[in-house]
A = this chain, B = another copy of it.
Amino acid sequence: MLTIAGLPLLMMPVVLCLLPIPAFADALVDNVNGITLDKDGRVIHFTGLLLTPDGKVSKLMKSGDKRPEKLDWRADMKGRVLLPGMIDAHGHVTELGFRALELDLSDTHSLAEAQAAIAAYAKANPERKWLLGGGWNQESWGLGRFPTAAELDMAVPDRPVWLSRADGHASWGNTAALTAAGVTVRSVSPPGGRIEKTGTRPSGVFVDAAQALVQKVVPAPLAKDRNAAFLKAQSILLGYGVTAVADMGTSLDDWMTYRRMGDVGALRVRIMSYGMGVDTAVQIGGTGPTPWLYNDRLRLNGVKLYADGALGSRGAWLKQPYADAPGQSGAGFMSDDVIRNLMSRAAMDNFQIAVHAIGDRANAQVLDAIDEMSDTYKGDRRWRIEHAQIVDPVDLPRLGKHGVIASMQPTHETSDRVMAEARLGPARLAGAYAWNSVLKNGGQLAFGSDFPVERPDPWAGWAAAFTRQGADGQPFGGWRPEERVTREQAWWAFTGGAAYAGFAEDKFGRLAPGQRADFIVVDRDPTLASPTELRATRVEETWVGGEKVWERK
C-alpha cells in the first residue's frame, strides 16, 4: 500500500530527493582570465567556469572547449581576471563590524591626532551615552608609553569613553569611564590582567583580564546593533574579495546573529566558527561541531582558547624576560592542567581546537599539550595554533610531528617587526613570524589578518608573505628574508590552506569541479604583479556559491 516506510531518524531530509531530479541546465561564466591553484598548489589557467544550478563548479573550461548550448544563464566577463575567493583564516567578524561602526583610531599617528579624532566623534554623536572605539596603538604614535585617562579627558570630559588597543589586549578609559566602573586607587589587578598605574593611581589603561573591570559596565549592544555590525563586517570582507573566514572566538550572541542572518538569507560570506571557550562551543554544538548550515555558509568547527596575551602589551608569555622590560615575561592564561583539561573536554566531543599562542613559552605549552593528547585523541584533529608568533626554534619540529596548523598573519610581521625587535632583542628573532620554517618543519600554514587588529586585506598579507616588506618597501631585501614563502605558497595559505585549516577543503578554497563557486573578479593578475601592484589589487566583483554578492560601485 504505502511506498514510503517509517524512516530512520537522519534520513528524513533526504525524502524529497528520492523524487525524480529535474534536468536543470548549467550556467557559464565565460571569457575569463581564470587562475586558480589546484589541490597540489600548482597554478591552473582557464577561460570559462561552468556552474551547477546549486552554485558549484562543474567544470573549468579551456579556450578550445566547446561551450554547452543549453544554459540557464551566461555571463561574459570580457577577459577579466577571475580568481578563487580569498579566505581569512583568523579574524573577528563581529568586532570588525563594531569597529567599523564605532570610532576607529587605527589611522592616527600621534596622541594629539587621536585626541582630535575622539573630540570630533563625541561632537558628531551627541546621542551616544558611551563613546566606544578602538584601534589605537601607542607604538605607532611614537609615544613610548601608554596614554592616560587625563589625556582622554582633554578630548571628552563629560561622558565615558572606552577605547580598545589595536590588538584588543588593552583598553583605555577616561575618568568618567573609570568612575562609572568604580575603579579607584584601591582596585586590584585581577589574575591574568594588569591595571596600569601612575604612582598608585590607575592611569587609565587596563591590560588583558583587567579590561573587564570597566567592560562590565559598558552597555551591551542591542540585537539590532549586532545585526548592523555583522552586515557591515560582511560588506567589508566581500569588498576585499574575502569569501570565507574563520571567526576566532564566536560568542553565543555572535552565533545567534549569524543564525538570524542565515535564517533570512542575509549570510553571504562563509563562516568557520570557533566558539569562545569550551562552554560556548558546547552550548552551540551540543555533542560536537554543527553540520554545515545554509549551503555551507556556517559551521561551528570547534573551540578557541587563549594561552597568553599579545606582544605589544607585553602580555605574550615568554621563556625569558622581555628585552625591554627585564622583570617581565608575560603570563600564561592557564596552567598546564587547565589547558589540557579544556582541550581534552573539547577533543572528546570532536571539536577542533584552536589555541592563541604568541610567546615562545605559550607556544611550547600548547605543543606540550598536543604532544600529550595526540596519543589519546587520534584521527584527523588538525590542531591549530593561532598566531604561533614567537616559537623557540627547538620547538618548531613539533609542528610537523602532529601536522599542526600554524594560523599566522603576514601583516603582523610587517606591522610589528620594530616592536618585536625591541621586545625580544636580536637573539630570539629566529623563531619570530617564521613562516618558511613552519613549512620546512612539516607544519601546515594558514594565513589571515586577525581583523580588526589589522585590516582584512588579503592582498597586503599576500604581498608581505613573499617579501617580508611593508607597503613602504621596507626593509630593503625583507626582514629576515629567509622566512619568506613563495608567492604560490602564500596564495595557498590564503585559499586552500585556510580551507583545510577549517575542514572545508572539499567545499571551497579553489576552483575545481565539486567546489562551491566562490570567486572574485579583480583588475590584475596577481601571479604577475609586483608586490606593490599586488597590494593595490582592486576587487571588482565577489561571488559566493555562484551568486554575485558584492560589486564595486
Of the residues B256, B265, B548, contact of A10 by C-beta under 8 Å: B265
Q: How far is the CB of A239 from chain B (nearest CB, A)?
A: 13
- Residue pair B7, A286 in contact (C-beta under 8 Å): no
- Does A340 belong to the interface (CB within 8 Å)? no
- In this complex, how many residues of chain A approach chain B with their Cβ under 8 Å: the count is 58
- Residue pair A287, B223 in contact (C-beta under 8 Å): yes
Interface digits, A280-300 against B, CB 8 Å rule (1 contact, 0 not)?
A: 001111110011010000000
- Report the bound CA distance from A6 to B265 in whole Å: 15
Segment with Cβ contacts to B, from A70-78, A133-141, A397-405, A507-515 = A70-78
Of the residues B1, B15, B286, contact of A76 by C-beta under 8 Å: B1
Q: A1-B75, A2-B548, A19-B24 known; A12 and B263 CB under 8 Å?
A: no
Interface digits, A492-523 against B, CB 8 Å rule (1 contact, 0 not)?
A: 00000000000000000000000000000000
- Does A13 belong to the interface (CB within 8 Å)? yes
Within 8 A of B (CB), among A270-312: 282-287, 290-291, 293
Closest partner residue, chain B, to A268 (CB atom): B12
In the complex, the count of this chain's copies comes to 2
Q: Is the interface of A mostly helix, strand, loop or mixed?
A: mixed
- Does A528 belong to the interface (CB within 8 Å)? no
- Residue pair B10, A264 in contact (C-beta under 8 Å): yes
Of the residues B72, B265, B291, B551, contact of A12 by C-beta under 8 Å: B265
Q: How far is the CB of A375 from chain B (nearest CB, A)?
A: 25
- Does A487 belong to the interface (CB within 8 Å)? no
Of the A-B pairs whose beta carbons lie under 8 Å apart in the complex, a sample of 16, sorted by A's number, is A1-B77, A1-B78, A2-B73, A2-B75, A2-B76, A3-B74, A4-B73, A4-B547, A5-B548, A7-B549, A12-B549, A19-B24, A19-B53, A223-B286, A224-B287, A263-B293
Chain A residues within 8 Å of B, Cβ to Cβ: 1-7, 9-16, 19-20, 22, 24, 53-54, 72-78, 223-224, 226-227, 231, 252-253, 256-257, 259-260, 263-266, 268, 282-287, 290-291, 293, 547-551
